[in-house]
Structure 1
Amino acid sequence: MSSAQRVAAVRQFNRFYTRTIGVLGDRLQTTPYSLTEARVIYELSQGEQMETVELRNRLGLDPGYLSRIFTRFEADGVVRLGRSQADSRRQTVQLTESGRRVFATLDQHAGLEMAALLDRLGDSDQMRLLTAMSTIERLLYTPAPGAQVTLRPPVAGDMGWVAHRQGVVYAEEYGYDHYFEALVGRIVADYVENHVPGLEDAWIAEVDGVPAGSIFCVRKDETTAQLRLLFVEPWARGLGVGGKLVRQCLRFAIDAGYRDMVLWTNKDLDAARRIYERAGFQLISEEQEERFGGMQTFQNWQVRLSEATV
């Protein structure tokens, strides 16, 4: 598919989805407000007060257009405009009590309309739709500065995601063949089938609720834990995801009573290597091998957990 065809396909989907959710016209269904006006009200509902310039930057709106919206909202009694205490040159805006009631009505109507849309589908098709929407969100998501990184246990679908995403990303970035994805799949399957609670664990990292990385801690022997499958999505790099995952893995191994932790990696993974070095890992050995579609230099690293940086 050519670049022009891909662009046309995305635009076609946008037109279809906009038409489906009923906001193609000038006003939202059952409300007197346009989609943009409803979005402004939603953003204002998330806090007590904000500067208008912050709201404008967040939504990417033209200053004149936003000013006209505020003029209408103020006339309707929906918002209250003022001046920032920190800088009187800056205008502030907040919802009035009437404005919060407007938001509650908009929110209720939106929920009912979306529930009606989902009711057209059976349970399995609803889950397919939600999975596809999550994929779109993940692929197009760009984290804002200060985005929140959280770790959680794996849930249904995460193990497949780990194997799929590592297979795709390492093929794109390093030219790995399908044997690498098969290796990841075997590691994941072995963890699921032989998981020892209290001695092994795994974590999925999320950035603002979007899956962004993973790591596994598995038992190598009675005194040694092994760090496996550290992965960070390309769009989430630089946010501290990898470091947070490694520190969690180390803390778990310490609490589980292990003495050492080891890992196996590829010399080409520079960002991961820097994370390991900061955590206290030391290079023990390396060897070259023809694997994953080319010559690789594999490395073995180790850290005494009592000396790890967590």
Structure 2
Amino acid sequence: MVRELGFMQATLAATDYPPSSVHTIVELGNHDSLTAVELVGMLGLEKSSVSRMVRKLIEAGEIEEVPNEQDARSKKLQLTDQGRQTLRAVDAFAVQRVGAAMAHLSEVQQQTVSAGLGHYATALRTQRLGTQPSTASLAIARGYRPGIIGRMVEMHASYYVRYANFGQPFESLVASDMAELMGRLHNPRNEVWAALDGERIVGSIAIDGEGEGGGALLRCFILDDSARGKGAGKRLLAEAIKFCDEWGFRETRLWTFKGLDAARKLYEDVGFTLEQEQEVEQWGGRITGQWFVRPATGNPSVEA
């Protein structure tokens, strides 16, 4: 990205200016006007460096000083007509370069790139400011929605090939199981929830309420990498457990395998306990399978 967008060059975005000056023009265009102190914070540069750059841009006719209505002791900076013309040229350059590259991607891939860059930018800002990332953008939606089967399979396959080297047999089994369960959602004892980043599915969980002896199975619990650390897993699990308690299932069971410590803590926090574990050969490797059980609690609000 550094190479393709021209950051390796002495000037940037088809202008005669270095990156810091182009960034200043862009920020002034976004904010109408800024003080030099505000620019220092935005650019992350020394005050003396910003002062020299501002002076050069004023001399070049790109920006101008105007009175600061909030503080008569200082002035604000804003773009001149020439500066706004330069900004339009910078925007056109960016649109052409980025648009030409994105044209080689499918619509789904374009959405993935956009979401990924947004998450990365948020993470960088969080690290720089020492703040906690916001989770408000992630919504939890109940019920089937188009694409959920494919996304559940994709998220499982992508994660477990990295974690446990599970390949095609595992992905095929997940696809078959998820499709079969989604085909039984007409039974109100079964349900699925999705974590959404905008319209993109970034997490899922499901309850199969047709288990033996009035029990339920917790299934399909997975998060996309972009949703980890944002509380989405805890919120999905809470929805599933609330559903189980409302139905008053005799117990809720789940199968997993040893080593998924973050998920195990979430399970134990809502009342699951390890009932059994056994070493087995599965999906091309040897794993320690685990059954967790959560007994019914409270008074069911729906007759099971």
Fold shared per TM-score above 0.5: yes
1:147 equivalent in alignment to 2:139: no
Maintained 8 Å contact 1:214/1:229:
no
Which whole-Å CA distance do the structure 2 matches of 1:55 and 1:190 have between them? Answer: 52
Compared with structure 1, are the counterparts of its residues 152 and 237 closer, same or farther at alpha carbon in structure 2 (3 Å cutoff)? closer
The answer for unaligned runs of 5 or more in structure 2 is 300-304
Which whole-Å CA distance do the structure 1 matches of 2:243 and 2:26 have between them? Answer: 40
Deviations 1:122-174 (A, max 9, x none): 8x966266156348638967723422221344865554343233223222223
* Deviation at residue 272 of structure 1 after TM alignment: 0.4
Which whole-Å CA distance do the structure 2 matches of 1:80 and 1:303 have between them? Answer: 69
* Deviation at residue 273 of structure 1 after TM alignment: 0.6
Compared with structure 1, are the counterparts of its residues 277 and 34 closer, same or farther at alpha carbon in structure 2 (3 Å cutoff)? same
Residue matched to 1:164: 154
Please tell me the residue identity of whatever aligns with 1:187. Answer: D
Residue matched to 1:259: 248
The answer for unaligned runs of 5 or more in structure 1 is 1-12, 85-91
Pick aligned residue for 2:91 from 110, 115, 120:
110
Residue matched to 1:7: none
Maintained 8 Å contact 1:56/1:63:
no
Maintained 8 Å contact 2:193/2:205:
yes
Maintained 8 Å contact 2:258/2:290:
yes
Residue matched to 2:52: 68
Residue matched to 1:269: 260
Residue matched to 1:4: none
How many correspondences in the alignment? Answer: 275
Maintained 8 Å contact 2:5/2:13:
no
Structure 1 vs Structure 2 CA RMSD = 5.0
Identity, % of aligned positions: 20
Please tell me the residue identity of whatever aligns with 1:77. Answer: E
**Paired residue secondary structure (2:166):** coil
Which whole-Å CA distance do the structure 1 matches of 2:55 and 2:31 have between them? Answer: 21
Maintained 8 Å contact 1:81/1:94:
yes
Maintained 8 Å contact 2:13/2:93:
no
Maintained 8 Å contact 2:40/2:46:
no
Compared with structure 1, are the counterparts of its residues 295 and 104 closer, same or farther at alpha carbon in structure 2 (3 Å cutoff)? same
Deviations 1:16-70 (A, max 9, x none): x426xx99673546x887654454455574799885564245xxx5665444344
Compared with structure 1, are the counterparts of its residues 229 and 70 closer, same or farther at alpha carbon in structure 2 (3 Å cutoff)? farther
1:180 equivalent in alignment to 2:170: yes
* Deviation at residue 277 of structure 1 after TM alignment: 1.2
Once the two structures are superposed, the pairs formed by residues 17-166 of structure 1 within 5 Å of their partners are 17-18=4-5, 26-28=11-13, 36-40=20-24, 45=30, 54-57=41-44, 61=45, 64-71=48-55, 76-77=63-64, 106=87, 110=91, 114=95, 118=99, 127=107, 130-131=110-111, 133-134=113-114, 137=117, 143=123, 144=126, 145-149=131-135, 150-153=138-141, 159-166=149-156
1:245 equivalent in alignment to 2:224: no
Decide which structure has the larger Cα Rg and report it: 2
* TM-score relative to the length of structure 1: 0.62
Which whole-Å CA distance do the structure 2 matches of 1:174 and 1:160 have between them? Answer: 21
Compared with structure 1, are the counterparts of its residues 200 and 14 closer, same or farther at alpha carbon in structure 2 (3 Å cutoff)? same
Please tell me the residue identity of whatever aligns with 1:68. Answer: R
* Deviation at residue 275 of structure 1 after TM alignment: 0.9
* TM-score relative to the length of structure 2: 0.63
Which whole-Å CA distance do the structure 2 matches of 1:247 and 1:203 have between them? Answer: 12
Residue matched to 2:302: none
Residue matched to 1:219: 208
Which whole-Å CA distance do the structure 2 matches of 1:105 and 1:250 have between them? Answer: 56
